[in-house]
Copies of this chain bind each other. A is one copy, B any other.
């Protein structure tokens, strides 16, 4: 099953990509993990780079092959190139290999040093369908605060991706992908608080959002009740 990866003329040597797919819904932030077939080894959706594709194309293809997800904007965030990152590869691969032994006994090509290029994306996990690909027998959205031990340095990759996601909230406006066309200030604040993992002061948050000059206030939300209805906003085009 892994035999196409032995055709070394098809792949760049020593390079891989790993995708950290953050899933948000209501006030939950999760990460998409895959379990190698017949093992208890959980990992990110990763793979190799073809000799004839851009690294960005490889990331999109790998994500599709391993999870069924497509048309998702992947943001490159960091490249992991420590010598030691593969230290446990042989051992961990042996674990995988033992379980998959009948299928493929030679995983030595996989235990070499790899530099991996990390990508992240943020999706509403209630709106996407995940299909584990040929290497996995399970795919699961796992809460960011309850991550199991992952393959190799994948826990470190998740942490670095979370850091990058948090840093880019204001600059790249990724959070707005999760909201509908119109939203209240509370809707935005809830997304920010979940991703940042902390409560924010309402007045400060509102002032900061408005100072970014990206929002357009459109109308009063109609509620019919006695309370003051919140304003609705949309992103300026």
Which residues of A does B touch, CB under 8 Å?
Answer: 12-15, 49, 51-56, 58, 76, 78-79, 81-84, 113, 115, 117, 167, 171
Contacts and interface: CB of A to CB of B under 8 A. Distances in A.
Oligomeric state, in copies: 2
A83 B57 CA distance: 10
Contacts of A49: 81, 115
Contact of A83 (B53, B84, B171): B53
Given A13-B14, A15-B14, A78-B76, A83 B113 contact: no
The list of the 10 closest CB pairs from A to B, nearest first, reads A55-B81, A79-B79, A54-B82, A13-B13, A54-B83, A79-B117, A167-B171, A12-B14, A54-B81, A15-B115
Contacts of A12: 14, 113, 115
Given A15-B15, A15-B115, A52-B83, 16 more contacts: A12-B14, A12-B115, A13-B13, A14-B14, A49-B115, A51-B113, A54-B81, A54-B84, A55-B79, A55-B82, A56-B82, A76-B78, A76-B79, A79-B79, A81-B117, A167-B171
